[in-house]
Structure 1
């Protein structure tokens, strides 16, 4: 319980810091809003999904991908924040306190999760304005956002490990984004993966990002008419696949990040 309390104290510290620097949240919203507008009004008319060729069908298909991209791109911010704390010597100050070693990272990732949740709320409002709608009950819709946030929390631990492994926040930001672009674009986020070349389709089908996108689409009721998922297990059971992927990522990268933190702090 003391470790949990320490983690909550660190999370509160990071949330207060974010509140005093509102630019962090504002600039974090600009990119996903731009993606919504660009893909909806620029590319939406030329991309067909399922049996429908309407812009509205693609708009609903798209939003789950935008939501998932938003929560995963928070990885770069998480890594940069931890690298900044390391660079400024804040970790050395934490070392002198009687607190659990893993609480520093857990508190940071929990604060990032709260920020991501706020970003999703604003982004959902923007999506509703441009015509996105859900077609399932409230419980399933909330479950859809739940799997998205769980993936974002899992990826924040990857960001934590990157932040502990580099020397500057700038390097952490670059390191947090360089692998995210292929991960998000070689997926079913923006196009139907069934139309990809064979070798790319297999990568997209087993991509943890794709599983979460597919799961949220099903839970939102946003699968377009005539759309048929591939026979790959993650695409046939996306909710379970998303949960399994997220838990595995959390277990692996939390273990690695805490071990790296202990070595750095030692």
Structure 2
């Protein structure tokens, strides 16, 4: 049996140039595939905000609304934007549990050996959570319109963009926590729950902070969610140039920067 050898000039393989944004898109599309195949998770995520609106909302309208002289529609203008922030908080702060599952199956390690940048992996994973959250937010707004809630179109778009920025930071911190406690997975939920509820209460999402004690008012000033909640209320009301909106953007951007910095550093250390 003879072999034929074909001589010719050696071909050089040119590496494919990818941008950081394309890496983010690849990771995001990878993470979204299970959601597209099983959209029930998006519907299931609506249970919590709708329960708060259906059960806690009327109590809020009856107590805070009567005491403050607010009409039912004005109470919804105050409460619905806060519910959207709460949905973002609960949705993105639990994303680390998905990473824990991938670490168990080895999918996380296989992703790490790809040429994708570490920051793009974190941002792509976090943005994946924003897509169903935006869909849920739109549904919540549409459901509340017949009850008197009004959303400024431009303010609503800006509000959802702010929630996306905030979600990137919260999601990155959640992933960093999952990596840090990967040898003790139960610690993820201990830390997550311990941090989540103080942030939730001090943000003024559920009840006005004006009636709280002085120490709580001081502590709330250090809660970034408080500024985002106030900004969302202003944006949905159409007050696009208020100081609350600027403070909300600052809080959301700082959360994203800190989250990405902590997340990337934790990810790099875990692979050393």
Distance 1:107 1:48, change over 3 A: same
**Structure 1 residue 147 corresponds to structure 2 residue 153:** no
Residue of structure 2 equivalent to 1:247: 253
TM-score of the two chains, using structure 1 as the length reference: 0.84
Residue of structure 1 equivalent to 2:10: none
Moved over 6 A (4+): none
Does the CA-based 8 Å contact 1:82-1:163 persist in structure 2? yes
Distance 1:96 1:217, change over 3 A: closer
Displacement of 1:31 in angstroms is 0.6
User: Aligned with 1:102: secondary structure?
Assistant: helix
Structure 1: state its 5+ residue gaps. 224-235
After alignment, is 193-202 or 51-60 more displaced? Answer: 51-60
Distance 1:81 1:145, change over 3 A: same
Does the CA-based 8 Å contact 2:49-2:83 persist in structure 1? yes
Structure 2 distance, partners of 1:200, 1:49, is 23
Distance 1:123 1:177, change over 3 A: farther
Displacement of 1:100 in angstroms is 2.2
Displacement of 1:153 in angstroms is 2.5
Structure 2 distance, partners of 1:49, 1:220, is 23
Larger radius of gyration: 2
Displacement of 1:240 in angstroms is 1.4
Count of matched residue positions in the alignment of Structure 1 and Structure 2: 252
Does the CA-based 8 Å contact 1:76-1:173 persist in structure 2? no
Distance 1:241 1:26, change over 3 A: same
Residue of structure 2 equivalent to 1:84: 101
Higher relative contact order (CA 8 A, sep 6+): 1
Structure 1 distance, partners of 2:268, 2:168, is 21
Cα deviation 1:9-57 (Å, max 9, x = unaligned): 1110100022223332222111111111112223421123884243332
Residue of structure 2 equivalent to 1:226: none
Residue of structure 1 equivalent to 2:27: 10
Residue of structure 2 equivalent to 1:232: none
Displacement of 1:69 in angstroms is 0.7
Distance 1:97 1:151, change over 3 A: closer
Displacement of 1:189 in angstroms is 1.6
Structure 2: state its 5+ residue gaps. 1-17
Residue of structure 2 equivalent to 1:57: 74
